[in-house]
Copies of this chain bind each other. A is one copy, B any other.
Amino acid sequence: MSGIVVIGGSDAGITAALRAREVAPGTDVTVLVADEFPNFSICGLPFFHSGEVADWRTLAHRSLSDLQASGASFLLRHRATHIDAKRKTVSVETPDGVKSVPYGRIVIATGAAPARPSIVGLESDRVFFLHAMADAFRLQDFLTTACPKSAAIVGSGYIGVEMADALVRRGLAVTMLGRSPSVLPTVDAPLGRLVETELSRHNVRICNSCSVEEIRETHDGLAVIGASGTTATADIALIAAGVRPATDLAEAAGIAIGRHGAIVVDQAMRTNAPDVYAAGDCVETWHRLAERLEYLPLGTTAHKQGRVAGENAAGGSRVFAGSLGTQVVKVFDLAIARTGFRDHEARSAGFKPVTVETTAWDHKAYYPGASELTIRVTGDRQTRRLLGAQIVGHWQAAVAKRIDAFATALHSGMSVDDISDLDLSYTPPLGSPWDAVQLAAQSWVKTVRP
């Protein structure tokens, strides 16, 4: 058979290629990379714009020569335009014209593209998106040459709040306009309000429940116009309205698309077409708790799915264990993390959730530098199974790794009561005899009597 062809040079594609070579070193693996930037950490772009990362080249997870050392071939500026699933070939636009590349097995890792909300005026030179390296270069170029003094960020999700942080650090006056009633709608509103306080403390102006209809060029910048008139003026606008799966290639090849608009795969990361695998932001992801496909475009998930797809394309039989939607974001001095379900998500998956909020010190208050964590634990009223957790706290208070303890407990199907049985570590500068994670679980247990 011919070798493995991977379409896509980001997290899922690169991981698939490396894993295929690792488990089957004799297999030919070719990666088609649409741009010149394979294996770049897209999640790092806000820190490039903030100035915390001085050189964009350091954003590469691995250099091209590191990648090539795996024995896989990386074809840069090779954009796949068509998959012929019957003849098992891919048409590819290259700098030297169109080529047809045969494959034995193929991994589609075309990722996602920024969502383009239906706002009039997005074609302005002063309107920016942020997803691929090209987007980042365009924005960075404008920031350094035109030196805008103010920015309107449309969207208050992960990228929105990270970019608010980044542009404030750069000295811009930032207005953030989001459709939801509180920022960061991926966490509960009481936690979103903590994030708003942090953003306000850094002079970010926040407009919630705001649906932007038009971005109009004015004599000296942009007017951002919502239903009730001009909501903000700014030198530039950044659209951070989430992403949509990039599935044109798969759809045209007759590959099944699911209810969230992304490619349907099984837990072996196989599509419905023979010898066609898919992974990353272009697929629907098995949710471990919901036990159904959801759309959860996350770098961590892309790596895991890529690893499974690569191993299986090389003849393996690995199963993707499912996502819990675990995520964390840093905004100024706060970290905000979640795993598993929030109340409404749990209800929609058939559970009887109760969510209890607790505050607890990150370490013993007598040791300098202690800060309070706000933790929301969601569990099932009947089975008492842990369903999810959300934490907000100081970014150096181990918020991310505390959510990981919850994520590990969730993975294993533990009850909220079981959390107190965990033998977690303790020293006064870093925790408490009952860690904050356990104190939050104990609050839930006290509130929800059996």
Q: List A residues at the B interface (Cβ < 8 Å).
A: 11, 41, 43-44, 47, 52-53, 58-59, 61, 288, 298-304, 307, 321-330, 335, 337, 339, 364-368, 395-396, 398-405, 407-409, 411-412, 414, 418, 420-431, 433-435, 437
Contacts and interface: CB of A to CB of B under 8 A. Distances in A.
Nearest to A367: B47
Contact of A430 (B58, B302, B330, B365): B330
Contact of A300 (B322, B324, B423): B423
A43 B433 CA distance: 10
A47 B339 contact: no
A308 to B, nearest CB: 10
B412 A425 contact: no
A366 B431 contact: no
Contacts of A407: 422-425
B404 A411 contact: no
A300 B330 contact: no
Contacts of A366: 41, 44, 47, 53, 58-59
A335 B367 contact: no
- Number of copies of this kind of chain in the complex: 2
A409 B408 CA distance: 6
Contact of A423 (B411, B431, B437): B411
Contacts of A424: 300, 326, 404, 407-408
Q: Which 7 residue pairs spanning A and B have beta carbons closest together?
A: A401-B401, A412-B412, A321-B421, A328-B425, A408-B408, A58-B366, A324-B423
A407 to B, nearest CB: 5
Nearest to A431: B400
Contacts of A53: 366-367
A408 B324 CA distance: 16
A430 B47 contact: no
A215 B178 CA distance: 70
A411 B401 contact: no
A29 B260 CA distance: 58
Contacts of A335: 427, 430
A359 B111 CA distance: 30
Nearest to A434: B303
A423 B43 contact: no
Contacts of A59: 366
Nearest to A322: B423
Contacts of A425: 300, 326-328, 337, 339, 400-401, 403-404, 407
Nearest to A299: B433
A356 to B, nearest CB: 16
Most buried by B among A395, A400, A409: A400
Contacts of A307: 420
B414 A303 contact: no
Contact of A330 (B11, B395, B429): B429
